[in-house]
A and B are shown apart, each in its own frame.
Chain A
């Protein structure tokens, strides 16, 4: 598929015009002015080479074109607050008519954008491109660890090769349309939408996963939380806890994962793992529909090697980016696929990372009576500057 028959500059300009969505009351569409959308780009800073078009140094990378198309289309639909967190040397031109959230460092305004907030992560993939969408309606209750599952969607644009410039505009406009239709209540975002174009240029194959599909019912958290335990001990071991927070902040906006070993002498050691989710997503975006933006897959061989050395697996940790420190339905399915926890004696630490800063931590264990995961007391927002006090370290 291709839109190259049209002039890209004209297409981008047209996307930014004020647009009334048919069948929607004006007042309803006007309410989009209160919503924020923040866009991040995959690979920037770590594999930026993948973002540059072959043989055209300095040219606009396709993913930046997709971001521009997305942001212009959102501005045209009436979204009031838009931002791009990007380390690209060539910034995307801001659309007219929308407040531009991004500060000069690309992140400062993103960190303070209040909900309702959608975070869209665009990434070039071996097969084309993906957009991960995470919608946070409210952060009420996050400080008490009451955050609920966020709306998560992965949109896959499979053209059989890394996205090229001409298709990038179509991709950005498609993501904008799906997000707008969701926010206007016309059509909920699917958990995943996989569009695959055949080589002969015909219509794309469509795999759609409904928002609730692929998930067993998860019991609510036990009302009685566990007494303080490992979370308190971790927080009192700043070289371990600090290493975890540094790791999850460094990997934002991707989820980070790792584990904490307890050695024979009682000493705790934090071990960072690679997040292998993108590798699984790359070979099979239908079965592994999530990317590392909204999922993690720990390096199980690394863990096995470290456990063979004789240590105990005390904690498995991972981060949630632009979401709360809760134990999600996806976390529970993975930790106890048949209802039985795979590692019954191991606790799970979840770190909420907002705009690249670790904001809250919660520790979960399987409650064998309630048959579900429960949080330890003391889970919740990190006190400002606690690391400085605990470790004498500065942030």
Chain B
């Protein structure tokens, strides 16, 4: 079952310019590991050493950030598009 992952502009140099990559997987973590298998180096751009999504990266399953769902365990199916979007953030 193919899951679509939308790749943000700054990471497309690692996907040969592709803005969407199709992978197999039943949750977000599996899908991102499949993305890593196709395009090595992607995992560490998205996930930090402690296994959490990096501080200034947001991963969405459909319209919701997975931090508000089950994190990398969030279940996905062919109807769910995963989007990787750099956070736009900051502070004093």
Query: Taking beta carbons and an 8 Å cutoff, which residues of A are in contact with B?
Result: 134, 149-150, 152, 255, 257, 259, 277, 279-280, 283-284, 287, 290, 294-298, 300-301, 303-304, 316, 318, 320-321, 323, 328, 330-331, 333-335, 337, 340, 342-343
Once the chains are docked, how many angstroms separate the CA of A300 from the CA of B57? 10
Interface SS of A by simple majority = mixed
* Number of residues of chain B lying within 8 A (CB) of chain A: 21
Whether B92 and A287, one on each chain, are in contact in the complex, defined by CB atoms closer than 8 angstroms, is no
B81 to chain A, nearest CB (A): 12
Chain A residues contacting B52 (CB-CB under 8 Å) are 287
Residues of B whose CB lies within 8 Å of any CB of A are: 8, 10, 52, 54-58, 60, 63, 67-68, 83, 85-92
Set of chain A residues within 8 Å of B90, measured between Cβ atoms: 295-296, 318, 328, 330-331, 333-335
Q: Which residues on B sit within 8 Å (CB–CB) of A297? A: 87-89
Q: Please name 13 further chain A to chain B contacts, defined as beta carbons within 8 Å, in addition to the given A150-B92, A297-B87, A334-B88, sorted by A numbering.
A: A255-B91, A279-B68, A280-B67, A283-B68, A294-B91, A297-B89, A298-B87, A304-B83, A304-B85, A321-B92, A323-B92, A330-B92, A337-B54
**Highest count of chain B CB atoms <10 Å: which of A149, A150, A342:** A342
Docked complex Cα distance between A259 and B56 (Å): 18
Q: List 21 A-B contacts (CB under 8 A).
A: A255-B92, A259-B88, A277-B89, A279-B68, A284-B67, A287-B55, A295-B89, A296-B90, A300-B58, A300-B87, A300-B88, A301-B63, A303-B88, A304-B83, A323-B92, A330-B92, A331-B90, A334-B87, A342-B8, A342-B88, A343-B88
Which residues of A are found within 8 Å of B55, using beta-carbon distances?
287, 337
Give the contacting residue for A149; candidates B60, B63, B92; CB below 8 A. Answer: B92
Chain A residues whose C-beta falls within 8 Å of the C-beta of B58 in the assembled complex? 300
Please determine whether A333 and B56 come into contact, CB atoms closer than 8 angstroms.
Answer: yes
CB of A334 within 8 A of CB of B92, answer no
Q: Compute how far the CA of A150 lies from the CA of B8 in the bound complex, rounded to whole angstroms.
A: 33
Of all chain A residues, which has the CB nearest B52?
A287
Judge whether A152 and B88 touch: CB under 8 Å.
no
B89 interface neighbour in A134, A259, A296, Cβ under 8 Å: A296
> Taking CB as reference atom, which chain B residue is nearest A214?
B55
A221 to B68, CA, bound (A): 36
Query: Are A301 and B88 neighbours in the complex by a CB distance under 8 Å?
Result: no
In whole angstroms, what is the CA distance A61 to B23 when docked? 51
A155 to chain B, nearest CB (A): 16
In Å, the complex CA distance between A316 and B92 comes to 15
B58 closest partner in A (C-beta): A300
Contact A334 B85 (CB under 8 A): no
Report Cα–Cα, A316/B89, bound state, in Å: 10
Instruction: Assess A295 versus B56: contact at CB under 8 Å? Given A280-B67, A301-B85, A340-B10.
Output: no
